[in-house]
Amino acid sequence: MLLTIKNLSVYYGVIQALKKINFSVDRGEIVALIGANGAGKTTTLHTISGLIDPKEGEILFEGKDISHIPGHRRVAMGIAQVPEGRRVFADMTVEDNLRMGAYTRKDRSGYSDTLNMVFDRFPRLKERRGQLSGTLSGGEQQMLAMGRALMSKPDILLLDEPSMGLSPIMVNEVFDIIRQVHEDGTTVLLVEQNAKKALNIADRAYVLETGSVTVTGDAEELLNNDSIRKAYLGE
């Protein structure tokens, strides 16, 4: 397993946000984490990236417990995140944002190769490389946030609500890109409220309900599961 979460508990003050959750992501998979608002999806990703410290439990990355390693060092180990709400550096140009994504990289030639790769994947970013990121549309900012995360050449890409606030056409475009990024060999852990879209591209999925994993299975299975259809697919 590339990433294994073991008995992970997270608290905000006295409120328990994650209750001993367990799940894993194998190399080459797309795994979806679905659930309602406040179920703990974002908390899970924040804990994996080190923005929040867990109270107990382990985060095993390539077999090694990283839960006590400072978050910024996890990026160099191969974990990149596209945060909820995109959080691009609005006062920096598109290209400077991408440069920040490659902050942990030391190799100059590798940097320009990856930059070209990202520009191939997101031609719009190349057109707007000199533009301030704050002036981009929501969809373009989502592309930038994804391109920025890819600049670190991650083994695993954590995506938090990539479709949030985007037009239906843009949502399709974003999911196409996720599929392509995955085909290029990046493992993906996807958090989504749009459960249907997520289950359609994922291999496996976990359902989070108020801090606990309640259902797990192949994505296709879950798509046909009656209670899931009722609760998350609006049918």
Partner 1 sequence: MSFLTTFVNGLSLGSIYAIIALGYTMVYGIAKMLNFAHGDFIMVGCYIIFLFSSNLGLPPFISILIAVVLCTVLGITTERVAYRPLRNAASPLAVLITAIGVSYFLENLALLIFGADTKSFSSVITWSGLSLFNGELQIQGITIVTIAVSLLILLVLQLFVHKTKEGQAMLAVSQDRGAAMLMGIDVNKTITLTFAIGSALAAVAGALLASAYPSLTPYTGAMPGIKAFVAAVLGGIGSIPGAMIGGLVLGIIEILSRTYISSQLADAIVFGILVVVLLVKPTGILGKKIQEKV
Q: Which helix (H) or strand (E) holds 77?
A: helix 71-77
Q: Which is nearer to partner 1, 171 or 228 (CB)?
A: 171
Cβ proximity of 208 and 193 under 8 Å:
no
Q: How far is the CB of 134 from partner 1 (least distance, A)?
A: 7
> Strand 64-65 and strand 56-61: pairing?
antiparallel
> How far is Cα 224 from Cα 197, in angstroms, rounded to an integer?
14
Residue 160's closest CA among 45, 36, 26? 45
- Regarding 198 and contact with partner 1 (CB under 8 A), the answer is no
Q: Which is nearer to partner 1, 48 or 231 (CB)?
A: 48
Rg (CA), the chain: 17
Q: How far is the CB of 130 from partner 1 (least distance, A)?
A: 15
The size of the interface with partner 1 (CB under 8 A), counted in residues, is: 32
Q: In terms of residues, how long is the chain?
A: 235
Q: Mask: binding to partner 1, 83-102, rule CB under 8 A, as x and -?
A: x-x-xxxxxx---x--xxx-
- Regarding 78 and contact with partner 1 (CB under 8 A), the answer is no
Residues that bind partner 1 (CB under 8 A): 49-51, 70-73, 75-76, 80-81, 83, 85, 87-92, 96, 99-101, 103-104, 134, 138, 141, 148-149, 152, 165
